[in-house]
Chains A and B, each alone.
Chain A
């Protein structure tokens, strides 16, 4: 029983991280109708920037103030992500307004390649650590409930916490701030939004920037967990089912979807994996999403698509 709960919680933790990446997708899809395959690349890019900046800053600061170095690095990486967002809007989106989904999707794949290329050219292509001083030691909880208690990785816990906070912030950002409202307006109808004087281009920059920050955070967390390396780019693939499950246009969807997938993966891996040679978590997530789609084509929280004749 304890073991089950443990896996469950582990799943929830992992799920939170998926949610983070998924969030990136949703933000961008909401505001620009772009299905952003580059999200993974952005995570990698951001993480690389973070890792190397903090490394360099640390050296510059004489290596005695890691915290400050990280702060500097974080802002530096933020700036980089902003530049990236601006460039993407300028060079790509602006020129692809009103193209069909497939075309935009292709474009983001292109962007992904470029980001990976540039990222590795500038920041190098080895494995880099990110040390934001996350405690690595596990804690034992609920000994009273289950014998042996439940081992939770503090790092995961904090990560989940950060993720939760970020989600909360974004939700507020979307619901309450004028920028957020603008974004929603744009998402609903480009022309209309423009006609009431919302500058499309600026909104897009903002949204991609925000998505960039989300990617940065996700990058930091994953990075500090597994180290920054190319495989980070593939995390996007892991997060896709989440978006589908949650619905492309729904922030809460991304969260719930993330949790479901996270848990589903872990459980399946632990309880199903052994019988089929393991390594099933990736496709399992997809199958989950797929089966789910068959019953709710628009995802958990996505708007229903009604076709008029």
Chain B
């Protein structure tokens, strides 16, 4: 309905291969970004930043990473949490052991470390497929849980086992207030989102998808499975690692291995599935859904209880949350196995064809 595509013809390949080939899309996305940078800071309050926006941004980044691996390269992982942990702890160590290490480098180095481990734990993918691989990745999860709990070196032998990082700053600009934290994360996510988009529309992305869709054929046309898979693991882990570092540094401030438990891994996978495999946008939808839902339930359930005059205990609420969350996931998988992103693209197609139904 909003689309007016007449006259938007392409006279060069460069124009035909840009990210948004339709002017209306470009405008829309730029609008959203602008709003995120200008509008939201004016509207959101502290709670919004802490409880929703910052977690949403960081987890979107992580989900993006997972999606590159699961959605684009077709390699299931249940160890994403571990790579967040690696990112966080690696960055932590870079920061405390190398003084004067700039924050951004610290975070990126964390990501690189995670990427390295990603390659290591990706090796099984060369031999095993699907569910077997899923379980193999759990190995990474449990190993890291253990390592960061038991091997003192990583936590700089902190007595409590929890580590913390304080007074972050970039170029002498302190990142303390939620707003600053939010903007900091936003910059990261925007950049990384475009990087992800570029990768997926470039040769490497096609290699990943080829491996995902039909690995034998891919190999026959000269794609090296090892390179394709391991690069996917590396890039994915890098994204996830950076997200982990942000999670620890910016969102939590001080954390323990529990912050990156296997539940986190599942959570990230949920985001990808519900958001939509093989869709950049989907990662954001998924993250939003998973972040907002519990908060929403927390607000709504007691209210509902009051309505029917039932006093719901906090335990009761958490159980109810489990039930509702679980059933919602199942519901989603049933009605739209391709995730929210698919719904979105269907809607978009409809708009382009409006007023025609097809």
- A280-B322 in contact (CB<8A): no
- B329-A107 in contact (CB<8A): yes
Of chain B, the residue at the smallest CB distance from A119 is B319
Q: Tell me, yes or no, whether B33 is within 8 Å of chain A by CB.
A: no
Q: Given A101-B131, A297-B129, A106–B262 Cβ distance below 8 Å?
A: no
Instruction: Report A-chain residues with C-beta under 8 Å of the C-beta of B328.
Output: 110
Instruction: Report A-chain residues with C-beta under 8 Å of the C-beta of B127.
Output: 293-294, 297
> Contact check: which of B123, B269, B330 meets A111 at CB < 8 Å?
B330
> Contact check: which of B130, B136, B146, B320 meets A282 at CB < 8 Å?
B146
Instruction: Report A-chain residues with C-beta under 8 Å of the C-beta of B138.
Output: 237, 240, 286
Q: Tell me, yes or no, whether A120 is within 8 Å of chain B by CB.
A: yes
Instruction: Report A-chain residues with C-beta under 8 Å of the C-beta of B333.
Output: 96, 99, 103, 106-107, 110
- A121-B319 in contact (CB<8A): yes
- B124-A96 in contact (CB<8A): no
A111 CA / B331 CA spacing, docked (Å): 11
A119 CA / B241 CA spacing, docked (Å): 36
Stretch at the interface among A5-13, A155-163, A174-182, A271-279: A271-279
A290 CA / B135 CA spacing, docked (Å): 9
Determine which residue in A102, A116, A280 has the highest number of CB atoms from chain B within 10 A of its CB, and name it: A102
Instruction: Report A-chain residues with C-beta under 8 Å of the C-beta of B163.
Output: none
A113 CA / B327 CA spacing, docked (Å): 8
Q: Tell me, yes or no, whether A117 is within 8 Å of chain B by CB.
A: yes
- B329-A105 in contact (CB<8A): no
Q: Tell me, yes or no, whether A144 is within 8 Å of chain B by CB.
A: no
Q: Given A121-B320, A240-B138, A99–B146 Cβ distance below 8 Å?
A: no
Q: Tell me, yes or no, whether B323 is within 8 Å of chain A by CB.
A: yes
- B297 CB, nearest partner CB in chain A, Å: 12
- A113-B325 in contact (CB<8A): yes
Instruction: Report A-chain residues with C-beta under 8 Å of the C-beta of B220.
Output: 309
Instruction: Report A-chain residues with C-beta under 8 Å of the C-beta of B136.
Output: 244, 286, 289-290, 293
Q: Which residues, 68 to 116 on A, are CB-close (under 8 Å) to B?
A: 91-92, 95-96, 99, 101-103, 105-107, 109-116
- B129-A305 in contact (CB<8A): yes
Of chain A, the residue at the smallest CB distance from B127 is A297
Query: CB within 8 Å of A: which residues of B?
Result: 70, 76, 123-124, 127-132, 134-136, 138-139, 142-143, 145-146, 149-151, 215-216, 220, 262, 266, 269-270, 273, 277, 315-316, 319-330, 333-334, 337
- Sample of 12 more A-B contacts, CB < 8 Å, known A103-B333, A110-B328, A110-B333: A91-B330, A99-B333, A102-B76, A103-B273, A103-B337, A110-B325, A110-B329, A113-B323, A117-B324, A121-B320, A248-B131, A299-B132
Listed A/B pairs (26) with beta-carbon separation below 8 Å: A35-B134, A96-B333, A102-B277, A105-B76, A112-B326, A113-B322, A113-B325, A113-B326, A113-B329, A114-B322, A114-B323, A114-B327, A116-B322, A117-B319, A120-B315, A244-B136, A277-B151, A282-B146, A283-B145, A287-B143, A289-B135, A293-B136, A294-B123, A294-B127, A298-B132, A307-B215
